[in-house]
Amino acid sequence: METYSIIFAIFLGGAVLTYFAGKLNSILQDILFLGSVLVPTYLFFSGVSFGSAMPFSLEGISLLWGIDHYSWLFALIVLGLGSLAAVYAIGYMKGKERKGYFYFNFILSVMSMLGIVVSQDLISFFIFWEIMTWSSYLMVIYNGKDIQRVGIKYFVFSAIGAYAMLMGIVIVHSITHTFFIEDMIQAYGHMSLQLQIWIPILFLIAFAVKAAMMPLHVWAPGAYSNAPMAYTSLFSGALSKMGVYGMVLILVTLVSRLPQGIWFREVLAWLGGITAAVGTLWAIKQDDAKKLLAYSSVAQLGYIITGVAIGTELGMLAGLFLAVMHALFKGTLFMAVGAIEKQTGTTNFTEITGLIRKMPWTFLASLMSIIALAGIPPLGGFVGKWMLYESLITSDHYLLVILIFFASTAGFLYCYKFLFGFFLGQEEKEWEHVKEAPATMVVPMILMSVFMFVLGTFPGIILKPINNGLMDLGFVDSYKHLWETSVIFNNWGDHVILQPILYSIIAIFLFFLILVVWKGYKGTRYVTTKDISTSGEVPKEDENLTFSVGFTQPFLRAVAPVMRRQIDKYYTEFAKGLEGLFEFMRRIYTGNAQTYALYVVVFVVIVLLFKDVLF
């Protein structure tokens, strides 16, 4: 298959050319950058066919690239979001430094993610996995902020995951003597029970790290918020989905054939639920939009993990549908934050207020994604969450459903905080100069909002590819009788049974939208100063009186005991302990020649003494 070679050659060559084009001309660089993301995307969707694979060999290892319907779904997420984020990045990166560096890593990230989904063998899978890790690491340290802590933490966790996977890979290879994923699946049934348990664990560690699942999530908040927002939308939207991709693959093809596999599923589902709950609580606490969305990403991935870990047909559908939705709405939200950051220079709720009339399109996109995120009809998030609840209930996970429901409801708090903090409320003089972001940034956001809306009404558009993908993984075809498994569909995805209700809601929604916009423009009442009631107290000069300060405090006080235990602290303590140990190791080398000579003598004597044992 020539197409694969061409696609990856364009990615690689494009990345290098784009990097160096910056030395010549900035516009040429932008064009090259767009070209090296969009051209391969076009080639992939027009030229690559299912079932045809490209075998080749490197260093005596046979490799195989090809796609099935399951990987096509993730290729869609990667390339779709990648293309839109690329367009957005042109606007976002205008006038910023290290543009070539950003573009280079952006292209490499998209390439490596596509590489992961087309890999049919473990070695190219691992190679692309690692390229993805280091290219995203280079993005995390892009701002140079706190890199020795946040950046290294991200890389260390990724490396732990990747090396666990590598260990799994070489163990599988020592049994099957090939690296093909197909052969691993074939041979899995004949392995010893010990290996049957350990191999999925080793792989799942790698995928759980990338999907930021508890307790391996501690890298995520820092990494998501430190990377430039144009990249974070891809980072949180698509890159974290690679973890989900691998997880589903391992769960369905390996774990499901193990009688003890039920424990894997339960543990994963619960970890996903806990991740969702804790992530949500932490998101509520944040005053910085980047951090808020970062924690929210962790939480949302928790829902997805729960869905796929339940492993019933409906659970899988829910998880994968939510994965697509999450790519859309979280991608949009990070883009919106990026736009606000670019226009105002800050992302802190306690500083910015009342942007609704200055950035109406950004507001609209944020509103849509918030609705989708919160799971309110009629947007796609609702369908996904409904399916998730239903799959949990039908598989008798009542406690889990309470947990998820708690997380989901608490999630409204940060959703509201995001919308209200940035866009609503009093306008301040400080932000009068703010303009709407340039079109290259707004258009991708609006496009994605439209997709979210469409998927809410016609979820079949994306449920059909998901169903095809699941069939490739070995599930039965649920097309045309999904209504048997879920109450919201009366027929396969063509429409939703609640449609009359839905459309009335849409009508009301539109009505209020128009009303709000109209009112906003007409302007009934302008409040330019901070007219906050201070209950008789005279506020001091430096007191921050923005209404977002101390938002949701009563709630946070109520859940404070839960949040006091931070797993991050334990990791830090552990790392400190290790450094102390290493310091001790270092002192073995005293720098004293006599000591070194003594070492030699001791070594020779010990080896001579124990020679019968050793040889």
Partner 1 sequence: MVGTPVLFVAIPLLAAFLIPLLGMIWKELVRIVPGLVLMYLMVLSINLLNHVLVSGPIVEVIAGWAPPFGINLVFSAFSGFLVTLMIFLGLVVWLYSYRFKRNVGFEPAKKYFLLLMMLITGAVGIVLTGDIFNMFVFIEITGISGYGLTAFYTGRDSAEASFKYLMLGSIASTLLLLAIMILYSQLGTLNMAEIASKIHTVNPTYKVISLILFISALGIEAEIFPLNGWAPDAYAEAPGPVGAAFAGIVVKASVYAIIRYIFTIFDISGAYSFLIIIGMMTLIIAETAAIRQDKLKRMLAYSSIGQMGLVLVAFGFGTEEGVFAALFLMLNHAIIKSLLFLSGSYLVYNSKDKKIVEVNGMHKFLPITSFLFALGAFAIVGLPPFAGFWSKLSVLTAAADSHMLFVLALVLIVSVIELVYYLRVVNRIYFFKKGENVDPKKPTFNALLAMIVLGALILVIGFYPDVITGVIHKASADLMDKTKYINDVLSIKQ
CB closer to partner 1 out of 538 and 588:
588
279: phi > 0 → left, psi -120 to 50 → alpha, else beta; which?
alpha
The residues near 253 (Cβ < 8 Å, ≥ 6 apart) are 185, 188, 473, 474
How near is the Cβ of 109 to partner 1 at its closest, in Å?
Answer: 14
Smallest distance, Å, CB 570 to partner 1?
18
Interface with partner 1 (CB under 8 A): 58-60, 123, 126-127, 130-131, 133-134, 141, 144, 147-148, 151-152, 155-156, 159-160, 163-164, 166-167, 170-171, 173-174, 579, 581-583, 585-586, 588-589, 591, 593, 595-597, 599-600, 602-604, 607-608, 611, 614-615
Number of neighbouring beta carbons within 10 Å of residue 235:
26
Least gap, CB of 129 to partner 1 (angstroms):
9
Torsion 475-481-487-491 (CA) sign: positive
Cis peptide before 215 (omega within 30 of 0): yes
State the Cα–Cα distance between residues 369 and 445, nearest whole angstrom: 9
Identify the CA nearest to 347 among candidates 222, 218, 448, 229: 229
Burial code (b: 16+ CB inside 10 Å, e: under 16) for 428-450 equals: beebeebebbbebbbebbbbbbe
The least distance separating partner 1 from the CB of residue 140, rounded to whole angstroms, comes to 11
CB of 403 vs partner 1, minimal distance in Å: 33
Question: In terms of CB distance, is 127 or 258 closer to partner 1?
Answer: 127
* 123 vs 305, beta carbon nearer partner 1: 123
CB of 202 to partner 1, least distance (A): 10
- In angstroms, the CA 444 to CA 333 distance is 11
Query: What is the rounded CA–CA span in Å between residue 573 and residue 576?
Result: 5
In the complex, minimum distance from the CB of residue 53 to partner 1, in angstroms, rounded to a whole number: 21
Nearer to partner 1 by C-beta: 74 or 155? 155
Please tell me whether residue 348 adopts helix, strand or coil conformation: strand
Nearer to partner 1, 503 or 603 (CB): 603
Q: How far is the CB of 213 from partner 1 (least distance, A)?
A: 19
The span from the CA of 381 to the CA of 371, in Å, is: 8
Inter-residue contact 53 to 1 (CB < 8 Å)? yes
Let me know: does 366 contact 422? Beta carbons within 8 Å.
yes
| Closest to partner 1 by CB, 117 or 328 | 117
| Neighbouring C-beta atoms of residue 561, cutoff 10 Å | 8
* Spatial separation of the C-alpha atoms in residues 330 and 334, rounded to whole Å: 6
State in angstroms the smallest separation of the CB of 181 from partner 1.
17
φ/ψ of residue 190, rounded to 5: -100, 0
Beta strands in 19-138 (DSSP E): 54-58, 61-65
In the complex with partner 1, the residue whose CB is nearer, 22 or 375, is: 22
Q: Which is nearer to partner 1, 522 or 611 (CB)?
A: 611
Interior/surface letters 94-103, b for 16+ CB within 10 angstroms, e for the rest:
eeeeebbebb
Give me the least distance between CB of 85 and partner 1, in Å please: 24
Shortest separation between residue 592's beta carbon and partner 1, angstroms? 8
What are the tokens at 136?
């995203």
C-beta closer to partner 1: residue 57 or 533: 57
CB 147 → partner 1: shortest distance, Å? 5
Separation of alpha carbons 304 and 319, rounded Å? 4
Q: How many residues does the chain have?
A: 615
Contact 152, 164 (CB under 8 A): no
Alpha-carbon torsion, ordered 236, 165, 471, 74, to 10 deg? 30
Name which of 148 and 524 has its Cβ closer to partner 1: 148
CA angle, residues 89, 94, 96, in degrees to nearest 5: 100
What is the closest distance, in whole angstroms, from the C-beta atom of residue 486 to partner 1 in the complex?
Answer: 42
Instruction: Please identify, using beta-carbon distances, which residue of 19 and 235 lies nearer to partner 1.
Output: 19
Q: 58 — phi, psi (to 5°)?
A: -140, 130
Considering the complex, state which of residue 225 and residue 343 has its C-beta at the smaller distance from partner 1: 225
The nearer residue to partner 1, 219 or 329, going by C-beta atoms, is 219
